[in-house]
Amino acid sequence: FGCIVGKVRLLACLSLRDVRFGRVPKVLEWVQFHQATEGPWCFVLDRAKPFEKPLSCLGERGLWLPPAEVLASLPVDFAETD
């Protein structure tokens, strides 16, 4: 069982090695010290927005595209970037 509970914006994808050695854009320096920073990849997300009702969907590891029937049932404003 799984579900999609909302959407986020992927702001950056950084290797943990670069993060640990401070090789990140100045605006993302805070990532070095964040408690949830772990790897091997560090996905920096923002603009999290939960859906009113979770959508049933089996997921996969990593970033993936949901099946067409699930995409068709997403809220109308899903593609908006607010």
- pLDDT for 20-79, tens place per residue? 898 999 999 999 988 888 889 999 999 998 988 888 888 888 788 888 888 888 876 666
Distances (CA, A) of 63 to 30, 32, 59: 23, 22, 9
Instruction: Please give the pLDDT value at position 6.
Output: 87
Cα 65–chain centre separation: 12
- The band of 18, judged by pLDDT with boundaries at 50, 70 and 90, is very high
In DSSP terms, 33 is beta-bridged to: none
The whole-model pTM stands at 0.71
Place of tokens 């949901």: 66
Cα 33–chain centre separation: 19
